[in-house]
Structure 1
Amino acid sequence: MKDTTLNSAVIREVRPWGGDLSDVTVVDGHISAVTPHNPAAAHGGETVVEGRGRLLLPSFSDVHVHLDSTRLGLPFREHTGAPGVWGMMMNDRNNWRNAETPIGERVETALRMMIERGTTRVRSYAQVDVDCGLERFEAVAAARETHKDRAEVKIIAFPQAGLLLEKGSAELLEEALKAGADVVGGIDPCSLDRDPVRHLDLVFGLAEKYQLPIDIHLHEPGELGLFSADLIAERTRALGMQGNVTISHGYPLWGVSEARTRALIETWAELDISTATVAPGTGHHPPLAQLVEAGVRVGLGEDGQRDYWSPYGNADMLARTWQLAFVNGFRADELIEHAVAVATMGGASILDRSTPRLRSVADRPGTQVSDVASFVLVAGDSVAAAVMDKPEDRTVLHRGRVVADQLELV
């Protein structure tokens, strides 16, 4: 397909969210019309993208990925990580420099593979600590620049090793923000740094100073995790940061009791605290239907991809959507389609708070007039069938422009 910047384009013969055959007109990166497919229609001055009867879905939004922690494209390596966050982090620290290719090349490869498979919205962590300094952040920033016309990438400056355990960690986090990071990261304020007040004061203080949102990894179990979540909510309310805080992972929060689950959902809905899941294979899972029906923004991500933490991950958010549906026990088509909505526009609403959040399992946004024209065209009898089969016949558009076709950049 011709790689041309589109002011005006028509995507012919597609089925938005598996519906009727349609022609979708795009002007300046947004949908201007969706009309019944007309095989005889002439499109003289417009660029034409042939849908061939494929599904038209919003492009994927990976809102929890570690682009700086990947071995995609490299030989498979046995897993050597020790249990626990600190043990896994040290395994990564001891090995990330010794890979067969430099960190910049690995990051670019992972982002390219994600785009080729249909992801054009990304929120990536970039680890900053006393071991790597800003080297990993700079690698993610360079890949973002390389693919700036193919995907929207936001970078989270992420203190994987905590902020208090190693001298200079907080200063490095601030250096990354000065260098252009988009989000302030935090992690396990109780179990890792063992001082939630100081940890959260640093994270929220930097967010307030630089007027940036926050994303906090929370692996802490049960009541301890709920305690941290309560402290995060208190600061969100006190500092007027509604709509600017994401709690990622947080799986043990959902296994304490039904009453605590209801209270947590109500608080997050009130303060517009969003959450990102990676559909883990073990433990508890966020109650997707309850969250979206309450108005909580929920997104999906791939986490690390074939890295020093885990051998899982393949840059394909359609495969991760299958995993999201599977671990939640979804069988009905409507629920499997809901998993796609979470993986696409659910995450988009976290990246851009002006994007409407999902409000029910029946919401199918992203393909209406005035929506941003970022899509993946994928073969399939239905949306649920595409999730099950994960076909490779895909065309990816970012803001009305074809950026990948048949799993290759154009």
Structure 2
Amino acid sequence: MTLLIKNVRLESGYLYDQTFVTSTETKIVDVLIENGKFVKIAPTIEVGGAAVVDAKNQLLVPSFREMHTHIDKTYFGGGWKAPTPAIEGIFTRFKEEAILLPKQLDVAEERAHAMVRHYIKNGHTHIRTHVNVDPQIVTKHIEIAKRVLDSYQDQITYEIVAFPQHGLLRNGHEFLTVFEEALQMGATHIGGVDPALVDRDSGEVLKTTFHLAQKYDLAIDIHLHERNTLGEFEILQIVNEIERRSFKNEVTLSHAFAFADLPQQSLDNLIDQVAANNVGVTTTVPIGAGPITLPVKYMYDRGVKVSFGHDSLTDHWSPFGSGDTIQKLNQFIQRFGYIDEWHIGQSLKYATGGLTPLNEAGEQQWPKVGDTANALLVDAVSSAHLIARQCPISTVISKGKIIHEKEIELKGEFR
């Protein structure tokens, strides 16, 4: 397929007032896409046989990557229902799921479709979903998630984390057999959750997790909600397993609240060890009464690959998810008080797999000829404008194909 985007705005550099960035320079060009790749960028392009889109001076930015969600257990697509108080913490939710999830099986597939469609229209071309494997659901959710995501494989890429939500070892050998079966049903990652709290044996859980990841050649993505020194201890155990096994597949820490409340020296040591072992961290940018928001930019600047996720849209854990990553980025810049063009614009990378149109020095780095054409047309004049004013998306492009379009009123810089 050949797609020609005419009159599109690309970021080209920063304008400075002595030492600080005052605004983003842009240029209006034509962009040609063939076979899912950017193949030409020029002031004017004319080519026969192409589908033509007039961008009308809209900005082109990289598409979003949803790096942590749960499409298999959601109220989204159904009626309003608020979560109940978690009197026993995470164990309240386990008891609840043992009853709730079997009841929701009849609507689980329909709601998963609703979530995927919602993510697509909000600019996502990649989804990583954690999918329950537990004593009641066994492999049913893996089957549903795989079937749903496969039906969108011409639109998005995806990853499936086989997630032992109710613990890996505490449910006995029979459950481990079921879990291994799930790992062979299309999972790309093996998951986990709070091994010290849930299974009461973080060392054995992590040994088993890494053993299974090596056995089935999977990546790892573990939920860690533990704070302070217990969370630090679990993260260091993970680092030790990576080093001991020379584990080469991707490892991600989801939530990892310990990074939010450690003393500075301990924090720096932990960040440096995580970065040295190429461990990524995914956060929802939580806001709460205590220290819960990760020092995202500080971690990134010290070498940790940080990404954003929504976790849920609405379910029995939380009613607050939106699936709107522009809103998520806006929440992030407000939380950290970023008000200038440079800090706001550079924050885009946490939602795009590290991509920004301009690098930190203001040099144009995206799109380049040869890059995969995953992109959004947005009614904004810069990445900073997009995030700060939460400008709308008109067009979602995945591998060079338009997968969602919406007619919007174009206001440009006046939003």
TM-score (norm 2): 0.88
Aligned residue in 1 for 2:369? 369
**Distance in 2, Cα, partners of 1:184 & 1:74:** 29
Deviations 1:119-156, CA, capped at 9 Å, x for gaps: 01111101100011111111111111111111001100
Aligned residue in 2 for 1:22? 29
Aligned residue in 1 for 2:185? 179
Structure 1 segment 245-394 matched on structure 2, within 5 A: 245-282=251-288, 283-346=291-354, 366-394=366-394
**Distance in 1, Cα, partners of 2:407 & 2:196:** 42
Deviations 1:220-257, CA, capped at 9 Å, x for gaps: 11100111111100011111124521111012233111
**Distance in 2, Cα, partners of 1:360 & 1:89:** 44
Which stretches in structure 2 are left out of the alignment for 5+ residues?
Answer: 12-23, 409-415
Asked if structure 2 preserves the Cα contact closer than 8 Å seen for 1:292 and 1:359, the reply is no
Inter-CA distance 101–377: structure 2 relative to 1 (3 Å threshold): farther
Are residue 137 (structure 1) and residue 142 (structure 2) matched? yes
Asked if structure 2 preserves the Cα contact closer than 8 Å seen for 1:379 and 1:391, the reply is yes
Aligned residue in 1 for 2:67? 63
1:309 alignment partner AA: W
Aligned residue in 1 for 2:3? 9
Aligned residue in 2 for 1:352? none
Of 39, 42, 51, the match for 1:32: 39
Give the aligned CA root-mean-square deviation in angstroms. 2.4
2:46 alignment partner AA: A
**Distance in 2, Cα, partners of 1:303 & 1:322:** 17
2:265 alignment partner AA: A
Of 135, 142, 152, the match for 1:147: 152
The alpha carbon displacement at 1:362 in A equals 6.5
Aligned residue in 1 for 2:18? none
SS at match of 1:12: strand
**Distance in 2, Cα, partners of 1:213 & 1:99:** 29
Of 316-325 and 231-240, more deviation after overlay is shown by 316-325
Inter-CA distance 407–159: structure 2 relative to 1 (3 Å threshold): farther
Of 193-202 and 85-94, more deviation after overlay is shown by 85-94
Structure exhibiting the larger radius of gyration computed from Cα positions? 2
**Distance in 1, Cα, partners of 2:287 & 2:196:** 24
The alpha carbon displacement at 1:49 in A equals 2.3
Inter-CA distance 96–11: structure 2 relative to 1 (3 Å threshold): same
2:27 alignment partner AA: D
**Distance in 2, Cα, partners of 1:296 & 1:360:** 16
Aligned residue in 1 for 2:115? 110
**Percent identity over the alignment?**
29
TM-score (norm 1): 0.89
Asked if structure 1 preserves the Cα contact closer than 8 Å seen for 2:7 and 2:55, the reply is yes
Aligned residue in 2 for 1:45? 49
Inter-CA distance 366–142: structure 2 relative to 1 (3 Å threshold): farther
The alpha carbon displacement at 1:188 in A equals 0.9
2:282 alignment partner AA: A
Which stretches in structure 1 are left out of the alignment for 5+ residues?
Answer: 1-5, 349-355
Aligned residue in 1 for 2:125? 120
**Distance in 2, Cα, partners of 1:89 & 1:305:** 19
Of 221, 230, 239, the match for 1:233: 239
